[in-house]
Amino acid sequence: MGKTSGILSVNLSRLETHTSKFGRWGDNHAYHIGDLSSVVLPGHEIAVQPLKYRLWAEALFEGINTDRPRLRQPVLLWVKAWRKLDIGVWQEFGPTRLSFLEYLLIGLASALFPREILNREGHNRGA
């Protein structure tokens, strides 16, 4: 559900026909695929290329801002529909909100892979 109680989030509505949001992974600006594409593919103003996605692009791709960018290595993405009653990586917390789980996972990944993690928000600063 979205910010308005009982209403489906705009990030998930009309997924079959509207890909600009797609649960924060959409192809519009201010969404992961859209912002990453604005750096990787040619023809985008630098003003619409967020710094964090420039860093992601440099780490993930060779030949950015060309007609033939290539991934440096295979990349896999796993996603799961999250429910309010799902329990995350620490059972002590019990059911967690998705936004909280995201920070837990980023913190865990930054502790395990301090040089490799690309996220800035939620990053374990002591690593």
User: Are 8 and 61 found together in one domain?
Assistant: yes
User: Are 6 and 50 found together in one domain?
Assistant: yes
Integer-rounded Cα Rg, in Å, for the chain is 17
User: Are 1 and 63 found together in one domain?
Assistant: yes
Would the pTM count as exceeding 0.85?
no
User: Are 59 and 5 found together in one domain?
Assistant: yes
Q: Name the least confident of 2-16, 54-68, 70-84.
A: 2-16
Residue tagged 């290329």 (tokens)? 49
User: Are 38 and 85 found together in one domain?
Assistant: no
Read off the pLDDT band of 127 (50, 70, 90): very low
User: Are 68 and 94 found together in one domain?
Assistant: no
Name the percent of the chain lying above pLDDT 90.
Answer: 20
User: Are 69 and 10 found together in one domain?
Assistant: yes
Residue type, 67: D
How much is the average pLDDT of 63-92?
88
User: Are 8 and 39 found together in one domain?
Assistant: yes
Q: pLDDT digits over 105-124, tens only?
A: 888 888 898 888 887 665 55
Q: Based on the structure, what is the number of domains in the chain?
A: 2
Range of the domain at 89: 80-127
For the chain, how many residues are written?
Answer: 127
User: Are 123 and 68 found together in one domain?
Assistant: no
Q: pLDDT digits over 5-61, tens only?
A: 777 677 667 767 776 767 667 677 777 888 888 899 898 888 888 888 898 999 999
Residue type, 107: G
